[in-house]
C-alpha cells in the first residue's frame, strides 16, 4: 500500500522496529499501530529502497463503507 493510504497508522509507542538511517527499514517486524495501539503493519521508508506499507493479514481485514 502507499503510505498515504493509511494516515491513521502511527509508530509503536516504544518506537521498536524503527531502525534505519532515514526511516524504518521494515525488515524487523511490525512497526506501525492503529489508533487503538495494536501493531498491524511494517512500514519500509528508508532511503535505500521503495517506501511501502504491508498490512499484516492476521491482524487486519478489509471492508467497504
pLDDT in tens, 9-64: 988 887 777 777 888 888 888 889 999 989 999 888 888 877 888 888 888 877 77
Give the Cα separation of 21 and 57 in Å (integer). Answer: 28
**Sheet of 32-33: strands edge to edge?**
10-11, 32-33, 39-41
* Distance (Å, whole) CA 62 – CA 46: 27
Global pTM? 0.72
Q: What is the Cα–Cα distance from 54 to 65, expressed in whole angstroms?
A: 21
Which pLDDT belongs to residue 49?
79
Amino acid at each position: 500500500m502507499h503510505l498515504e493510504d493509511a494516515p491513521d497508522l502511527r509508530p509503536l509507542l516504544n518506537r521498536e522496529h524503527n531502525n534505519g538511517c532515514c526511516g524504518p527499514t521494515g525488515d524487523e517486524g511490525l512497526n506501525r499501530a492503529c489508533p487503538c495501539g495494536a501493531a498491524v503493519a511494517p512500514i519500509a521508508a528508508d532511503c535505500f529502497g521503495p517506501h511501502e506499507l504491508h498490512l499484516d493479514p492476521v491482524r487486519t481485514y478489509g471492508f467497504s463503507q
